[in-house]
A and B are shown apart, each in its own frame.
Chain A
Amino acid sequence: AIRMTQSPSSFSASTGDRVTITCRASQGISSYLAWYQQKPGKAPKLLIYAASTLQSGVPSRFSGSGSGTDFTLTISCLQSEDFATYYCQQYYSYPLTFGQGTRLEIK
């Protein structure tokens, strides 16, 4: 199975900050990567797929980049509603696997 490793596991930031979360795959996955946002008690929400394509309805302050093994999710100007846990997921090969999550907290 392809292992997805996110960094950092958690961190604190302030509203208005630019933040970047990294996801590394244990082997190349081309651009077969998605990012999700999950708030407590809620289902994950798809933000980005194909590494950099914004899902319909997702604010443009979210962006994704990368290919191969290294990927990033960037939030350009943090809003209060962005404090959540973020997961990456590869769909290059079975089994589909997720990163362990990055918890973004308010500083």
Chain B
Amino acid sequence: QVQLQESGPGLVKPSQTLSLTCTVSGGSISSGGYYWSWIRQHPGKGLEWIGYIYYSGSTYYNPSLKSRVTISVDTSKNQFSLKLSSVTAADTAVYYCARAPATTNFDYWGQGTLVTVSS
């Protein structure tokens, strides 16, 4: 059973960089066939796809965030990470990591982590 777990600071100051890591267990990122994703949900709102990465390092980003987003992978640790720069209060959200078979839907999700942007 694949499990994903987000980790990182729950509070980030405006203009700084939000950094989160997702640790995958029960399966290897480097086995291929899946894209490893970040999705966020503003409080009380819907879901927004941020982007995803393949184990080889290929990435796809949401154009609305592309200029500020970097997703990277560390296959040796079975982890992938999100960096979102120049954050504002509008980036306050629950951030989820998830697995996508090929480039499709999201079949396994982490529990989510709330990141608040505030001074």
Q: Could you list which residues of chain A lie within 8 angstroms of chain B, going by C-beta atoms? A: 1, 32, 34, 36, 42-46, 49, 55, 87, 89, 91, 94-101
Name the CB-closest residue of A to B51: A95
User: Quick one: which of B60-83 are within 8 Å of A by CB?
Assistant: 60, 62-64
Instruction: Kindly count the residue-residue contacts between A and B in the assembled complex, taking CB atoms under 8 Å apart.
Output: 51
> Counting CB contacts under 8 A, is B111 at the interface?
yes
Chain A facing B: main interface SS = loop
Q: Is the interface of B mostly helix, strand, loop or mixed?
A: loop
Q: Closest chain A residue to B98 by CB distance?
A: A43
B60 proximity list for chain A (CB < 8 A): 94
Q: Which of B13-21, B25-33, B85-93, B102-110 contacts A (4 or more CB under 8 A)?
A: B102-110
Min distance, Cβ B113 to any Cβ of chain A, angstroms: 11
20 example contacts (A-B, Cβ-Cβ < 8 A) are as follows: A32-B104, A34-B104, A34-B106, A36-B106, A42-B111, A43-B98, A43-B110, A43-B111, A46-B105, A46-B106, A49-B105, A49-B107, A89-B47, A91-B105, A94-B62, A94-B63, A95-B49, A98-B46, A98-B47, A101-B47
Q: Is B96 in contact with A98, judged by CB distance below 8 angstroms?
A: no
Q: How far is the CA of A45 from the CA of B98 in the complex (A)?
A: 11
Interface residues as binary, B31-50 with A (CB distance below 8 Å gives 1, 0 otherwise): 00000000000000011110
Minimum CB–CB distance from A9 to chain B (whole Å) comes to 11
Chain A residue at minimal CB-CB distance from B96: A43
Minimum Cβ distance to chain A for residue B114 (Å): 10
Known: A87-B46, A89-B47. A95 touches B62 (CB 8 A): yes
